[in-house]
Structure 1
Amino acid sequence: MVDTRTPPARQMDITRPAAARIYDAFLGGGHNFGVERSFAERIEQELPGIGAVYQENRAFLRRTVEFLLARGVRQFLDLGSGTPTIGHLHEVACRRTRDFRVLYVDNEPLTVAHSKPLLAGEPRADILRADCRDPASVLLAPETQDLLDLNEPVGLLMTSVLHFVPDSDDPLGLVEAYRDALVPGSYLVVSHLTGTRAPDAARTLTDFYAETSDPLHPRETSWIDKLFGDFEVLPPGATYLADWRPDPGQPTSATNRYHLLYGGVARKSGDTGIPVQSINGG
């Protein structure tokens, strides 16, 4: 049983850059405002070529989803998803199979409002407004219960979300709560900002994001490794994203300018799991 505090509901604020819309701006999407585009331009001036890091994360998401689909996973829970555009999870799944279900989760109200019409024509995907720091609000939500069967394996994605969770919210305990709720055969996908190999670039990004609604908390790779707990980390292991099963002919971290995103994929084995209802003491 995990006792979680309920975070306050996030309010809409279009006067400050928001992480989801910054990401969309770097991907070339249209669901952002001038404040995010200006912010992205300022970062690019300070860290030339930094946009490739955002592209790298989206490419990692695509490769991991294809990897899980090939292993029979057909339902996905994407925490801190942002706006589902520009090759997001359901688009990747749709190219491989018609048998899939995707629930996106984000706590930023405008991101969810923009996402609803984008997904209106896709009955296999939906978005839930909830805060991933409150597992009960995610796992016990009617939208989750209607779309996903948590008694069956799930692909849980936490890509570029945990570095927005401060230490005071116990991100390690948070991920453990989600891991405990998954049944055997489920998978955990993580990517996280790190300054282990690029401390100056990570510090610059952190300074910039301090101006936004979503401050950054980069962490060492040894800390990120702990997020997988007792799950089996699959080859090639936790690594810099460009080195995780790169496409043929694609660059690896050896040629990347910035080494900032680290993660991997892990599988839950065993024959027991904590019932979802116990997340909130039910």
Structure 2
Amino acid sequence: MVHSEESGAQVGTSPADRIDTSVPHPARRYNYWLGGKDNFQADRESGDAIAAAFPTIRLAALENRGFLRRAVAYLTREAGIRQFLDIGTGIPTADNTHEVAQSIAPESRVVYVDNDPIVLAHARALLTSAPEGATAYIDADLRDVDTILGHPDLRRTIDLDQPVALMLVAILHFIHDRDDPYTIVDRLLDALPVGSYLVASHATDDYLPPQVAAAARESANAEGQHGTIILRSRDEFVRFLDRPGLSMIEPGITSVAHWRAEHEPQPRPTAAEAGIYAAVVRKD
């Protein structure tokens, strides 16, 4: 889900000690947009400020959630995937990855990764698995690839010799270019076997007026702060997916509102209203 680029973790501190209610956090801001109650004044003010510039942001958050649900259902039902690594979990809401997967295949196993202590508390309380399957939660930053892949909870829950669905849904746009998000994705995919999948969505400025898009990019690069959204073009999104050994799943790169959404309420929001690209690729 929509989460932070900053881990904020400090050696010797408990998760509760890391909660700073005066600073907006993407996971809590996303919760606010979805109508949740697990957010603070700073999150609501930040959410409202973004909504003032991007009036369809709440719609985009809902459509992104719908994409995740449909992608997990496709992978479980049609691709036979039974293992998921969901990085950027967010505060649990309806249709979490394990709920969708285990409603189809109860033996599905899911590892969630996020770095917000409030997410950690909710995950431990709410992300309970079906008896046949398993779920685990890792407190880590997306950029900490070695920590994630080497974590004992991941190794206990997921067999990295068997196909895994890597879920990077609305998380990559929190990684600045200076942190080389493309290499992060490559390293994660390199650790997964043939037959694995990557599910990704990313906010874009392609549908914004040129002057608004330029201002958004300048602001993000100048601030470089906790939770800044880095808008990228379609071509920049393609770079995450365009590597040898990956094949695109139909319908290819499209809006989160349109990816296999034939059975969703019609008419669908436009790509401009959603403002988020989505795709699923297979490692061959």
CA distance in 1, matches of 2:144, 2:185: 11
User: Which aligned pairs between 1:1-282 and structure 2 lie closer than 5 A?
Assistant: 9=9, 11-70=18-77, 71-120=79-128, 124-199=134-209, 213-228=226-241, 229-230=243-244, 231-248=246-263, 249-252=265-268, 255=270, 258-269=273-284
| CA-CA distance at 1:126 after TM superposition | 2.2
C-alpha RMSD of the superposition:
2.6
Q: Distance in 1 between matches of 2:240 and 2:212?
A: 23
| Counterparts in 2 of 1:201 and 1:83: CA distance versus 1, 3 Å | farther
- CA contact 1:69–1:93 (8 Å) conserved in 2: yes
Q: Percent of counterpart pairs with the same letter?
A: 37
1:9, distance to aligned residue in structure 2 (A): 3.0
Structure 1 position 121, deviation (Å): 6.4
Q: 8 Å contact 2:102–2:130 — kept in the other structure?
A: no
Q: In the TM superposition, what is the alpha-carbon distance from 1:42 to its structure 2 partner?
A: 3.6
Corresponding residue for 2:13? none
TM-score normalized with structure 2 length: 0.84
Shift, 1:110, TM fit = 2.5
CA deviations 1:123-181 (Å, max 9, x no partner) are: 62221101111211001101100111111000100011111001111111110001111
**CA gap 1:256/1:268 in 2 versus in 1, 3 angstroms:** closer
1:17–1:39 Cα contact (<8 Å) kept = yes
Structure 1: gaps spanning 5 or more residues: 1-6, 270-282
Structure 1 pair 58–112 and aligned structure 2 pair: CA distance change class (3 A)? same
Q: Displacement of 1:29 after TM fit?
A: 2.0
How much does 1:101 deviate? 0.9
Q: Give the AA of the match of 2:47.
A: A
> What is the identity, as a one-letter code, of the residue corresponding to 2:135?
A
Q: Which moved more, 1:11-20 or 1:202-211?
A: 202-211
Q: How far, CA to CA, are the matches of 2:160 and 2:52 in structure 1?
A: 45
Aligned equivalents of 1:49, 1:198: Cα separation in 2:
12
| Aligned-partner residue type, residue 150 of structure 1 | L
Q: Give the structure-1-normalised TM-score.
A: 0.84
What is the one-letter code of the residue matched to 1:251? P
Residues 253 and 279 in structure 2, CA contact (< 8 A), matched pair in contact too: yes
